[in-house]
Structure 1
Amino acid sequence: MNKKMIGFFVLMSFLLTGCWDKEELNDVSIVTGIAVDPGEEKKYRMTVELVNSPEFGKQGSLGNTPVITYSLEGNSLSELSNKMNVGLARKLIYSHTRVVFINEEIAREGLFGFLDFLERSGHFRNDFNILITKGNPASDFTKITYPIQKSPSLKLHKQINTFLEEWGGDPRVRLTDFIAAIISKGKNPVAATVVLKGDVEKGKNVENNKSLDPEALILIDGIAIFKDDKMLGSIPLKETRDYLWTQKLKHTSLSIPCEEGKVEEQPYFDVRVSRSNTKINVSYKNNNPKLMVKITGETKIQGSECTNDLTKIDVFMEYEKKINELVKKDITTMIQNIQEEFSVDIFGFGEALYRQDPQKFKKQESKWDEVFSKAEVDVEVDLHLLRSGIKNKSFMTDLENLKE
């Protein structure tokens, strides 16, 4: 019996072995960001951003640089990702990569060259953000320190998520989103663009971490428009928010003029969109396509410079009308600008048509972007103004009454 028990425990011990690919922490470096620029002698120049672990420890910072970067040139990202130990001692772990910065020049030439590697490789997760850099080498974006979040890539990852939730100025495009749009029937990809503001060289200094007013910051700038894997151009932040109305916008804030007139001379009232839902489809009349966008949601007033009395129902309804008219105008203008300037469907109207009528879409699939660029646009907005915050009447109304 004892021999049987001993044999049983010996056999069970084989199930307690460790992971076959485990690595000791002292033998690896964690990659949080990657930058890809054109190379001087080879096709690509790849920069990795590595966490300097002691600076992120619970015992507090030692005052050293929070991240370390290293650059190397090669003809493929696959080659470069395995060759970084030319200059680095530890094995690199890429599974914690949060951002891939891509130089605008490379984005315009096409991304097929390394998208396949990033998707196919077992070293990367597919939930990192793709960002297109403008104005500076992509490598610079991995070197700008920040007091609250020391790693540039971790800072951007958090910044993108927060910005989307609070204002809606970033599409939060992950690798899976980008590739899904490339292979989609009737939709082209987009990716956020970022720029550097301030003194870049001072921003790279560890002292930038300790400054009340950082010398340099990475700012979200808008989105890049793609045709398949090639970047065509970009649109600014305001139009990016208008684009996101057609996609996955949850919350945002609007400033609406109280009266008609010159914008710079107008008082405004401010609205918070607390919920929104968007449906897009394509209708046909006499074989002419119409792009349909229907937006519903709820809003509330957060502040007002207007002297109108919101306790009056007609004033309240007029405010709601102004909100809907502004959003409708902005979205319509944005879609028409995309049609005229880029002639590519980044919204997914083609996908919607494919779901509605696969046969009709298949007849136009090869020329869908051309069909999209010439189609009529019809935007319907129904945002309800639920309440005007804690107070109904602004003190501005009382001041106006005192003057009278």
Structure 2
Amino acid sequence: MIKKWIYLFLILSFFMTGCWDREELDEISIVSGIAVDPGEEKKYRLTVEAIISSEFGKQSAQGNTPVVTYTMEGNSLSELSNKMNKGLTRKMVYSHTRVLYISEEVAREGLFGFLDFLDRSGQFRNDFNIMITKGSPASEFTKITYPTQKSPSLKVNSQAETFTEEWGGDPNVKLYDFISTIISKGKSPVAASLSIKGNAESGKTVENNKSLDPEALVVMDGMVVFDDEKMIGELSLEETRNYLWTQDLMQTSLSIPCGENSEEAKGYFLDARITMSKSSLEADYKNGYPHIKVNINGEARIQGLHCPQDLTKLAVFTDYEERIEDYIKKEMSSLITKVQEEYGVDIFGFGDALNRQNHKKFLEVQNQWDEEFAKAELDVYVDMHLMRSGIKNKSFNEDIEKKEKEK
């Protein structure tokens, strides 16, 4: 009988447990972004962007600023992240952080000083974006308002995702990507870069949200290249898109010259939309010399046509397909050669490809793979299928040209 009562109490105890770590929303501040700048008196200056939850509700919003920022200096992010209540009232919750802004100065000095804390700490998830800021302190990027996304960091996070899906200008590097690449001996890290277009001071006001033409915008600005944990260079937006060809870029748009030899075609462009692509990397040694190879396969369709050739002819259609392939091949070859000559680090992952394809050889060269990559011979193969020309074969430009000739 006693055992039955004991079992009964044990079973009931499971239903009587409460949420011991429960926290009320009005007792915490959710951090959506953090920014790291060099400190004036100490090593780092940390800025947190905390959401004011009442401004996100339709009924409770009063038109005030939707976020609040606070800045402190210290020698470690661990110390600073737990010290923010020196100026803020509520407990900081960092698990919803979407963007980590790092100033270019800090990135060039190196990120080991705080990456370990971010990876080790239970306060942060490892799926937030790492963005390097250019031209302005990282703290400024947590303050630029935007009409449709009340939190600056939520706006940047959404902006980066959409840009990646539609055009491919963001490498989409999360904390776990960055750390795993640093550990790898076959690939060097990269991260997206941002800049502020316009007047940053005016962009901090609520009035910036009410303008048809915002005074300031945070814009994607390409990406930066790292050697281990130190920034050593940068690539433009177009070069970033070309880099992403090697990382299975899904969609993008190209403007390809109609022709260079024909006077009639000069100044006209073929607009192609890449609707699907798949890439593979190869690396091996031939006669003791490193060789690297990129294979790109995909599908495209014509979105705009200014070229004078008749698209209804099979030969013209095939020629356009070859032009798309040649354009991609030229862009890819130019980018990889630039990275080899100027930066000398393998940001593409050819070392990882060699490790998979010839593990024994990779073990021999892994400690000096970047030097091997820098001198490797390159081949780029592109097989792009032009699926259709849109809903029309001929451009209305032809009708306009005929009309002009008849006058």
TM range (shorter): over 0.9
Shift of 1:48: 0.2
The residue identity in structure 2 corresponding to 1:271 is A
Match for residue 12 of structure 2?
Answer: 12
Residues 1:71 and 1:115: Cα distance change in structure 2 (over 3 Å): same
Distance 1:21 1:326 in 2: 57
Q: Which amino acid aligns with 1:33?
A: G
* TM-score relative to the length of structure 2: 0.95
Q: Which residue does the alignment assign to 1:123?
A: 123
The correspondence of residues 1-400 of structure 1 with structure 2, limited to 5 A, is 8=8, 11-59=11-59, 61-260=61-260, 266-400=267-401
* Range 353-362 or range 336-345, more displaced: 353-362
State the alpha-carbon separation in 2 of the partners of residues 355 and 217 from structure 1. 43
SS at match of 1:369: helix
The whole-number CA distance in structure 2 between the counterparts of 1:392 and 1:265 is 21
Task: Report deviation, 1:107.
Answer: 0.5
Checking the alignment, whether the CA contact within 8 Å between 2:185 and 2:367 is kept in structure 1 is no
Deviations 1:291-313 (A, max 9, x none): 10000000000111122211100
Tell me if the contact between 1:307 and 1:400 (Cα under 8 Å) persists in the aligned partners. Answer: no
Match of 2:59, SS?
A: coil
Gaps of at least 5 residues in structure 1 are none
Q: In 1, distance between residues paired with 2:37 and 2:192?
A: 17
The Cα of 1:4 is off from its aligned counterpart by 6.3
Deviations 1:156-175 (A, max 9, x none): 10011100000001100000
SS of match in other structure, 1:218 = strand
Asked if the contact 1:194/1:219 (under 8 Å) is kept, the reply is: yes
- In 1, the alpha carbon distance for the partners of 2:109 and 2:341 equals 22
User: Does the residue aligned with 1:141 lie in a helix, a strand or coil?
Assistant: helix
Q: Secondary structure at the match of 2:80?
A: helix
Q: CA deviation at 1:91?
A: 0.4
Q: Which amino acid aligns with 2:80?
A: L
What amino acid is aligned across from residue 164 of structure 2 in structure 1? L
Aligned-partner SS, 1:154: helix
Q: Distance in 2 between matches of 1:199 and 1:7?
A: 69
Give the Cα–Cα distance (whole angstroms) in 1 for the partners of residues 164 and 363 of structure 2. Answer: 34
Q: What amino acid does structure 1 have at the position aligned with 2:254?
A: L
Matched residue of 1:220: which SS? strand
Shift of 1:397: 2.6
Give yes or no for contact 2:203–2:215 (8 Å, CA) kept in 1.
Answer: yes
Q: How many residues align?
A: 404
- Mapped partners of 1:5, 1:374: distance in 2: 78
| Aligned equivalents of 1:388, 1:333: Cα separation in 2 | 28
Hey, what's the Cα distance between the residues in 2 that align with 1:356 and 1:10?
57
Rounded to whole Å, the distance in 1 between the matches of 2:5 and 2:213 is 69
Deviation at 1:60, TM superposition (A): 6.0
> For residues 277 and 7 of structure 2, what CA distance do their matches in structure 1 show?
64
* 8 Å CA contact 2:257, 2:266 repeated in 1: no
Q: Relative to structure 2, which stretch is displaced further, 299-308 or 273-282?
A: 299-308
Pairwise CA distance, 1:399: 3.2
Is the Cα contact below 8 Å between 2:259 and 2:266 reproduced in 1?
A: no
Once residues 336 and 148 of structure 1 are traced to their aligned partners in structure 2, the CA distance between those partners, rounded to angstroms, is 41
Check the 8 A contact 1:283/1:290 in 2, yes or no: yes
Counterpart-to-counterpart distance in 2, 1:239 and 1:214: 28
Cα distance, 1:206 vs. partner? 1.2
The residue matched to 2:122 in structure 1 has which SS? coil
How far off is 1:19 after superposition? 2.5
Distance 2:211 2:295 in 1: 46
Cα offset for 1:30? 0.4
Q: Deviations over 1:135-180 (max 9, x none)?
A: 1100000000000101110001001110000000110000000001
Q: CA deviation at 1:26?
A: 1.2
User: What is the Cα deviation at residue 13 of structure 1?
Assistant: 4.3
* SS of residue in 1 equivalent to 2:47: strand
Q: What amino acid is the match of 1:331?
A: M
Structure 1 residue 351 displacement after superposition: 0.5
Structure 2 unmatched ranges of 5 or more: none
**Paired AA for residue 376 in structure 1:** E
> Could you say what the CA RMSD is over the residues aligned between the two structures, in angstroms?
2.0
Once residues 353 and 388 of structure 2 are traced to their aligned partners in structure 1, the CA distance between those partners, rounded to angstroms, is: 34
Amino acid at match of 1:122: G
Aligned equivalents of 2:267, 2:215: Cα separation in 1: 34
Percent identity among equivalent residues? 63
Q: Deviations over 1:243-263 (max 9, x none)?
A: 00011310000001111169x
Shift of 1:272: 0.5
Q: How many Å apart are 1:6 and its aligned residue?
A: 11
C-alpha displacement of 1:18? 2.5
Residue 15 of structure 1 deviates from its aligned partner by 3.2
> In 2, are the aligned partners of 1:308 and 1:397 still within 8 Å (CA)?
no
Of stretches 118-127 and 16-25 in structure 1, the one that deviates more from structure 2 is 16-25
Q: Aligned AA for 1:23? A: E
1:10 Cα offset (Å): 7.6
Distance in 2 (alpha carbons) for counterparts of 1:361 and 1:129: 31
